């Protein structure tokens, strides 16, 4: 199952003596500013930083618990209005502030997801477009030569069909909705009679995402090519616009 469904599973292992922390570095290679947001899953404590600004070419680091489960996303086209309310055109977390404070990204949003297992286990990580796409991103393990990077380097917005497209004030496509979000039908949401891997195969819509980003989750049951593991002890680099 997709890592977002696993977020609660690691909470039973959240606290034990001797656990190391993991460093996640975020780098912005986009030609525009990105406002990353973080969300801890399964009711766990939020990170000390749940949202911040990351200019073009800038990097920052987050120290996360060794058994952290959660997701990280990038908000775009953000601004503060005359009342001091902060908001973004894509992946907004609706907190009204730069910090998301425990709120997740409003779809469509590209996501990176982690379930870090702690000492002696394996970390699980993925890039997910199940909630749609707003910008390219990647995950690169560091300090573990045998572990594989995963990414969504393609620009799904450039091939997004009109029925899935979210447009900005100038009419350009700024994000691409999932078919589940846009059309709300069970065959696209893998619900009801389509609620198992056997009955919910890829669709023409999910294949648009998959063709642009073969390593990323394109729909709920896209596990075989989209979940990656690494022995604990690695750190991770997240790159926006790799």
- Cβ pair 102, 50 in contact under 8 A: yes
Structure confidence by residue, pLDDT tens digits, 70-117? 999 999 999 999 999 999 999 999 999 999 999 999 999 999 999 999
Structure confidence by residue, pLDDT tens digits, 150-161? 999 999 999 999
For CA atoms 101, 61, 112, 162, give the dihedral sign: positive
- Confidence category of residue 19, pLDDT binned at 50, 70, 90: low
- Domains of the chain listed by start with CATH number: 3-240 (2.60.110.10)
- Cβ pair 142, 26 in contact under 8 A: no
Q: Is the model's pTM score more than 0.85? A: yes
Q: Is the pLDDT of residue 12 over 50?
A: no
Q: Is the pLDDT of residue 11 over 70?
A: no
């Amino acid at each position: 199952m997709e890592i977002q469904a696993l977020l609660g599973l690691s909470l039973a292992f959240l606290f034990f003596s001797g656990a190391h922390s993991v460093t996640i570095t975020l780098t912005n290679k986009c030609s525009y500013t990105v406002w990353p947001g973080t969300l801890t899953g399964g009711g766990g404590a939020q990170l000390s930083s749940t949202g911040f600004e990351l200019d073009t070419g800038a990097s920052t680091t987050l120290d996360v618990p060794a058994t952290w489960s959660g997701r990280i996303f990038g908000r775009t086209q953000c601004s503060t209005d005359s009342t001091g309310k902060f908001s973004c055109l894509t992946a907004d977390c609706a907190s009204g502030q730069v910090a998301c404070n425990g709120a997740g990204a409003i779809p469509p949003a590209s996501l990176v997801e982690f379930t870090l297992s702690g000492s002696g286990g394996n970390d699980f990580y993925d890039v997910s477009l199940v909630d749609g796409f707003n910008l390219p991103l990647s995950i690169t393990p560091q300090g573990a030569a045998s572990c594989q990077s995963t990414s969504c380097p393609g620009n799904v917005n450039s091939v997004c069909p009109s029925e899935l497209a979210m447009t900005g004030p100038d009419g350009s496509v700024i994000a691409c909705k999932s078919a589940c979000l846009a059309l709300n039908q069970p065959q696209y949401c893998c619900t009801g009679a389509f609620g198992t891997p056997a009955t919910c195969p890829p669709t023409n819509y999910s294949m648009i995402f998959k063709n642009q980003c073969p390593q990323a989750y394109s729909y709920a049951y896209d596990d075989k090519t989209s979940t990656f593991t690494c022995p604990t002890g690695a750190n991770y680099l997240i790159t926006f616009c790799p």
